Amino acid sequence: PQSDILVIRQRPELGRVGQMVRWGLVPRWAKDASIGLKLNNARAETVAEKASFKTGFERHRCLIPANGFYEWQAVEEAGKTRKQPWYITPAAEGGFFAMAGLLAAWKSPQGQDLVTACVITTATNQLMAPIHDRMPVLLAPTQFDAWLDPAFRDVASLSQWLQPATPEGMLARP
């Protein structure tokens, strides 16, 4: 969160492009960029309704490519809780995940442009359930074209894709 991340987006005049953006969504209507500290993730269950995410979900979607992601499991040891990091990767060697993301462009009062993104999360699958209660929405290559198309605004269809990925395509290691 708050670092620069690579996203893939669709630009009508260029097609698919990669772009570095700040992780932590700052909606166009925000008074200042600090709201991005709280908007690293959007919950799949409410992304189509929440003011911070609704426009992005309808019109400004992106893919966030990653060769893995971390989740932290709360582990009890000697009466204390510690956080055990887990690294989740594609099962296929050399594979990558395409996380569902949203984009927003914000202009500061000084006139600076800032492009930001967030990851859409969903409930977990069987692999992730013992580790954490949420996971990123991972899209299949067959969904990329429609997901990236800003003219595709069928929120009901898009919402159906916000499901946990099948665990067979994933590996988790401490």
* Cβ neighbours of 167 (radius 10 Å): 15
Residue 27: DSSP 8-state: -
Phi, psi dihedral angles at 92 (to 5 degrees): -75, 125
**Which pTM value belongs to this model?**
0.95
49 neighbors 56 (Cβ within 8 angstroms): no
pLDDT of residue 130: 96
Round to whole Å and give the CA distance between 53 and 30: 12
pLDDT of residue 19: 97
- From residue 164, how far is each of 27, 86, 120, 141 by CA, in Å? 26, 17, 11, 15
Residue 166 identity: T
pLDDT of residue 12: 85
Instruction: Please list the rounded mean pLDDT of every run of 10 residues in the chain (174 residues).
Output: 96 93 96 94 97 96 97 94 97 96 94 96 97 97 96 95 96 97
Residue 98: CA count within 13 A, CB half-sphere: 16
pLDDT of residue 13: 87
